[in-house]
Amino acid sequence: MLHPRIIPNLLIHKKGLVKTVNFKNPKYVGDPLNAVKIFNEKSVDELIVTDIDASVKGDEPDYELIEKIAMECRMPLCYGGGITNAKQAKEIFRLGVEKISISSAAINNPSIIPEIAESVGSQSVVIVLDVKKKFFSNGYDIFTHNGTKKTGLDPVKFIRKIQNTGVGEIVINSIDQDGSMKGYDYKIIDDVRETTSLPMTVLGGAGSLDDLGNLIKKYSIIGAGAGSLFVFKGKYRAVLINYPNQKEKIELIETFMV
């Protein structure tokens, strides 16, 4: 039986763990391996790790770092950053990663989606769409390269185009809400949920356990992702790796059952 998932999202920049606001000004918050060790102890549902430098610089995935993270990680791991072909995806999968996330490469060349799906299995192929509201309409644009390149693509239309090509999951990451800790953007979640039945995870805006609970209550089977919520504590954003304890998590999950 499928259940909602509560998922920390970790960003790697210059081999360190960082957090951004609106995809800008990465703030160093610690060592990624130490964060993984702490999340292991907290029985995290799943972990998303993204190298935000690789695709922007056109670099290969950092296989050495990926292997270290995968060896340390005792929960399902999704890795993204710099993946442009099935050979790279297969190597990352071999290192112990359960899911491969791709963004700009899939947007620029959707034909790589079935190639990667054939290599590692469609259930392991995650498409990440970084989205931003349009200024003069209710629509959204997809951006790539850490929110610096506007593609002119509508996320809903793009999902319709690729949803039967081997995609296993869609991640919607709100640039507008990133790091704000003011809650999720429900408009884009509604739009995507009405478009596809694929498993879905959302990122951007979670600032409290109530934000996670409300998301789960509204959408039931969904991935409730967060970055700032799990690396900061308190109004002054002191760095503290945290995650709901078992009692808190059960209470959140039960919100969608009542």
Instruction: Give the pLDDT confidence of 7-38 residue by residue, as tens digits.
Output: 999 999 999 999 999 999 999 999 999 999 99
Q: Which domain holds residue 189?
A: 5-254
Higher pLDDT, 54 or 249: 54
Instruction: Give the pLDDT confidence of 152-202 residue by residue, as tens digits.
Output: 999 999 999 999 999 999 999 999 999 999 999 999 999 999 999 999 999
> CATH code at 229?
3.20.20.70
Q: Where are the beta strands (DSSP E) in 116-229?
A: 125-133, 140-144, 149-150, 169-174, 200-203, 223-226
Amino acid at 226: A
Pairing relationship of beta strands 149-150 and 140-144 according to DSSP bridges: antiparallel
Phi-psi sector, 152: left (phi>0), alpha (psi -120 to 50), beta: left
The Cα 255–Cα 258 span in angstroms is: 6
Q: How many domains, the chain?
A: 1
Q: What radius of gyration do the chain's Cα atoms show?
A: 17
| pLDDT for residue 51 is more than 80 | yes
**Residues 78 and 97 sit within 8 Å (Cβ to Cβ):** yes
252: pLDDT confidence band, cut at 50, 70 and 90? Answer: confident
The Cα 178–Cα 194 span in angstroms is: 23
User: What is the mean predicted confidence (pLDDT) over 121-137?
Assistant: 95
Q: Looking at residue 19, what is its pLDDT?
A: 97
Q: Which of the following is catalytic: 130, 141, 191, 211? A: 130
Tokens of 49: 């790790």
Reply yes or no on whether 130 is catalytic.
yes
